[in-house]
Chains A and B, each alone.
Chain A
Amino acid sequence: MAEFLLELLSEEIPARMQARAADDLKRLVCDGLKAAGLSFADARAFATPRRLALVVDGLPAARADVSEEKRGPRIGAPDQAVQGFLKGAGLSSLDQAEKRDTGKGEFWFAVVTRKGGPTAAALPGIVDAALKALPWPKSMKWGSGTMTWVRPLQSVVALFDGRVLAGEVAPGGAMAPLPFGDTTRGHRVLSRGAIKVADFADYTAKLEAAHVVLDPAERRKIILEGAERLCAAAQVALKVDEGLLDEVAGLVEWPVPLIGTIDPAFMDVPPEVLVVSMKTHQRYFATARSDGQLANRFVVVANTVARDGGATIVDGNERVLRARLSDAKFFWDQDRKVRLEDRLPALKNVVFHAKLGTQAERVARIAKLAVEIAGHVPGADRGLVEQAALLCKADLATGMVGEFPELQGTIGRYYALSEELPAAVAEAIGDHYAPAGPNDRCPSGPVSIAVALADKLEALVSFWSIGEKPTGSRDPFALRRAALGVIRIVVENKLRLPLRRFFEAEDLLAFFAERLKVQMREKGVRHDVVDAVLALGGEDDLVRLLARVEALQSFLGGEAGRNLLTAYGRAANIVRAEEKKDKALAARLAGTPDAALLEQAEEKAVAAALADVERALKPALAAEDFSAAMAAFARLRPPIDAFFDKVTVNVTDKPELRLNRLKLLNQIRATMDSVADFSKIEG
């Protein structure tokens, strides 16, 4: 059994693409191995900023001959198809193929034997195919070549069983090919010259000596442990950020965490600003004091071992941060000299969307909507809601949001607090973009709820009005997120909000229903249960809708529910079958059956049970107690079963009797459908 080692050395690969590329390389090579009939024990892929590496263990030194059948065209197919088949199978004439009856006609078959041979002979082709197929999110040409890769490819290590494979990567054009070899390079700065490697163990050891940690998980660990050590010594706590850890591990081949200090002059700037400057702009880790507040230390991860122990690097990073934060502090001090209210005129100069006017016009619409919504939010003071809605976008005109656009809302909240506006107004300004995603917090204060809902509903209604509806792949104005935000705010706060009062478009309600389905599916709710409730139509109260879904799901989960569903199905099937035969029938089935025409005890029992259920149903539905409504249905089961055992519906000689019995069955259906459309339920 032998080992295959592949390394693709390139210029710096974007951090966000590395993990995926390593996986893709592994998948493509493994698929190639399997297709070539080569078995292996294990494959592992790694990525650093400059290289993708793959090691496959347990490959055979050679593989056996593989016999493969190819089905060709039908006997008598046009010549073109026959020629294509012959070419594909590598045959010169049909004499070499055989006829075979597949049961669906006679077809040409070719039996192609692929010669086995040394594994080393198969590998170069597999590597070549994998390189061509590897799907980088963005790739480029370089030099005078025609090949594309994420950044210029520099060398290829391809070793099988310790020997260099015969092969090369041809960048095309006038460029020299990169022959497969056994040499790579170490760290860009800390290592000089070529490194010759023998196998994977040798490769990782020599890379390590050349200041490259191949395994991203290992780099992550070094960063985390190093950062925590530095923090412990500085008596602060590292704010662990998984996404940032992954990113930073993809920016360095030799991670060296260093700790720096934020100039205390900047510590009165809002912590969110400090964190964005550090994390988003500089990829630093923030730290916290023992009381949980942001500490004035940060961890930066260098990609080198500096002669002076990193003092220059820390100093440089502190300087960059100082420059960024002095901008922030300048804005923090200047912005607060102007009241949010006095910034409103500036929003007239900010275009929101060419067809939807300025931010000022949008704010006016949001405010109007927010006040209307406030009537449905218990405890929402209309005055405060209006004030918050009018001010919610004012921070877009501040210098701070100009510099830190990702802090819109958050900055408005700080400025509102420093103006000593009512706390609920400040919170609503800070909350109104939320929730920004499934994991974001959801506003819960009454004023916040009204403004956050208005912000999203306004966007939905406005973009709908100009025909900018999301399509399968395009949602440039994040309207799906807006709709999901509305759903979460309404549901999590149990708001009784009749959505239809705020828009006219029928398909917008359908859009909400669609989002709701997606959301519930993710929570494990059966899609047919959701469909059954949605099919009632016209429901725009999400809380009531969900209560129905929940009750129905739990009812169907029980024995009684499942049995009743069978009964419902039988009743509905008979009625539907008869309706199909006689188009005029449907109209005649409405209403209660004539009691005088009920002959058999079993049908009388069903009618009585139905009347019983309806009596129980009315107050239950009025009280929105859907569980009670479902429970009432359970009583229908025994009489319906007895009915189907004893009563013949389609009595051919007595049409009035038949019609009355169909009416009875129809009534079962209608009664149950008043809670959910049971016909949508799948067994």
Chain B
Amino acid sequence: MSAPAKPTCFQELILTLQDYWAAQGCLILQPFDMEMGAGTFHTATTLRALGPKPWYAAYAQPCRRPGDGRYGENPMRLQHYYQFQAILKPSPPDILERYLGSLEAIGIDTGLHDIRFVEDDWESPTLGAWGLGWEVWCDGSEISQFTYFQQVGGIEVDVVAGEITYGLERLAMYLFDKRSIFELPYNRADSDVPLTYGDVFLQNEREQSAYNFEHADTDMLFRHFADAEKECQALVGKKLPLPAYEQCIRASHAFNLLDARGVISVTERQSFILRVRDLAKACCEAWLVTQKAPALSAAAGAA
């Protein structure tokens, strides 16, 4: 098979990464259907990073960071953007070579470019998670984050997952030499209807920024936070970690919106983060119980 041509637009970048990681044995999952601040929140990462079972998966995940909205006026910042995430558990010994292979696949020729692994430890206070790794630089530009998870939900992992996160817009700007996200070609220039990233998302950035900063109903969001928190705790009590975790994600997003609206003081902020962390921790603990029990098929005697 001839090598696939290198991507020329945003969607080909995603397709190429999907193909590449599928060939590495990863499941190609679809985005999680809830608002989240980073691809790490997907159950395919947060929950699957825990427990002894092997897990290889990759997916694109839309991320929302309400506070990063700039009404579409900053060429490098968005409140809604995409991450591509690959998670390999247990981390294979050649994971860095595989990662470098993905760079070649998307058209970064290591014979021409300078790739560096620069120390960068990762921590998510809301998920109670941390890991060690690097940010990966290509000619001085950060193009990925690489993390070996050590702890999730306050629990030390049994088996270490290697997590690779590509910030897709930033990577695409680098690959396609654009100074503004909105100028990125979303599909191929020779398409019937060639569109830019701005054609697809600029209006969304404007409207969502207005919502995030000006119109989000804060009383309602405080209620949503409290409701999600309560529901999450109740579901953990009923040993249903997956629906419980969705409520945790909901609470986290409500908090992010409230934070963007500027109605949470610095001291309160810390306590909200701790409340979300407590939820995440409870969900992770409940999930872990299900992972350490024998799998259904094994229980049926197939062990």
Contact = CB atoms under 8 A, between A and B. Distances in A.
A306 B113 contact: yes
B155 to A, nearest CB: 13
Contacts, number: 108
Contacts of A150: 132
Given A16-B119, A189-B115, 14 more contacts: A12-B134, A139-B132, A140-B160, A141-B160, A143-B92, A304-B113, A307-B112, A313-B113, A315-B139, A316-B141, A319-B139, A320-B140, A327-B76, A354-B267
7 contacts: A140-B131, A142-B91, A173-B159, A174-B90, A302-B114, A304-B114, A306-B111
Interface residues of A, number: 46
A141 B139 contact: no
B271 to A, nearest CB: 11
Interface in B158-184: 158-160, 162, 174, 177, 179
B140 A316 contact: yes
Interface in A273-310: 282, 284, 300, 302-304, 306-308
A282 B140 CA distance: 6
Contacts of B116: 251-252, 303
Contacts of B96: 11, 188
Interface of B: 76, 90-93, 96, 100, 110-119, 121, 131-132, 134, 138-141, 148, 150, 157-160, 162, 174, 177, 179, 262, 265-267
B100 to A, nearest CB: 8
A64 to B, nearest CB: 41
Interface of A (DSSP majority class): loop
Contacts of A138: 121, 132
A625 B209 CA distance: 69
Interface in A310-352: 312-313, 315-317, 319-321, 323, 327, 349, 351
A14 interface: yes
Contacts of B100: 188-189
B12 to A, nearest CB: 21
Nearest to A139: B132
Nearest to B138: A316
A284 B137 CA distance: 14
Given A142-B91, A251-B118, A321 B140 contact: yes
A517 to B, nearest CB: 36
Q: Chain B CB within 10 Å — which of A15, A252, A315, A317 has the most?
A: A317
Contact of B90 (A49, A143, A151, A302): A143
Contacts of B158: 144
A191 interface: no
Nearest to A49: B117
B37 to A, nearest CB: 20
A-B pairs with lowest CB-CB distance, top 9: A316-B139, A14-B119, A12-B117, A351-B266, A302-B114, A317-B140, A144-B90, A143-B90, A320-B140
Nearest to B77: A327
A39 interface: no
Contacts of A173: 159
A145 B132 CA distance: 15
Given A141-B150, A152-B91, A11 B113 contact: no
A566 interface: no
Contacts of A315: 139
Contacts of A142: 90-91, 148, 160, 162
A144 B92 CA distance: 9
A152 B132 CA distance: 11
Contacts of A49: 117
A315 B100 CA distance: 21
A532 to B, nearest CB: 47
B205 to A, nearest CB: 18
Nearest to A355: B267
Nearest to B76: A323
A173 B266 CA distance: 43
Contacts of A235: none
A303 B76 contact: no
Nearest to B156: A141
Contacts of B90: 142-144, 174
A554 interface: no
A154 interface: yes
B131 A143 contact: no
B160 A312 contact: no
A12 B76 CA distance: 29
Contacts of B262: 349
A145 B177 CA distance: 41
Contacts of A251: 116, 118
Contacts of B138: 316
A143 B100 CA distance: 19
Contacts of A303: 114-116
B303 to A, nearest CB: 17
A151 B93 contact: no
Centre residue among A11, A143, A307, A313 by max chain B CB count within 10 A: A143
B111 A307 contact: yes
Nearest to A351: B266
Contacts of B121: 138
Given A14-B119, A16-B119, A141-B150, A313 B159 contact: no
Contact of A143 (B93, B112, B134, B265): B93
Interface in A107-164: 138-145, 150-152, 154
B141 A319 contact: yes
A175 to B, nearest CB: 8
Given A140-B131, A140-B148, A351-B267, A11 B141 contact: no
B61 to A, nearest CB: 24
Contacts of B139: 312-313, 315-317, 319-320
B266 A152 contact: no
A196 B140 CA distance: 33
B145 to A, nearest CB: 14
B8 to A, nearest CB: 18
Interface in A548-567: none
Nearest to A141: B160
B114 A306 contact: yes
A152 to B, nearest CB: 7
Interface in A351-366: 351, 354
A174 B162 CA distance: 17
Contacts of B160: 140-145
Contacts of A349: 262
Contact of A312 (B112, B134, B265, B267): B112
Given A143-B90, A144-B160, A320-B140, A313 B266 contact: no
A251 B179 CA distance: 28
B25 to A, nearest CB: 15
Contact of A152 (B93, B111, B113): B93
B132 A140 contact: yes
Nearest to B121: A138
A154 B114 contact: no
Interface in A386-402: none
Contact of B159 (A16, A139, A144, A307): A144
B264 to A, nearest CB: 11
A13 to B, nearest CB: 8
Contacts of A140: 131-132, 148, 150, 160
Nearest to A354: B267
B78 to A, nearest CB: 15
Most chain B beta-carbon contacts within 10 A, residue among A142, A144, A173, A351: A142
A151 B76 CA distance: 32
Contacts of B162: 142
Interface string A470-493: 000000000000000000000000
A204 to B, nearest CB: 23
Given A143-B90, A152-B93, A316-B140, A306 B112 contact: yes
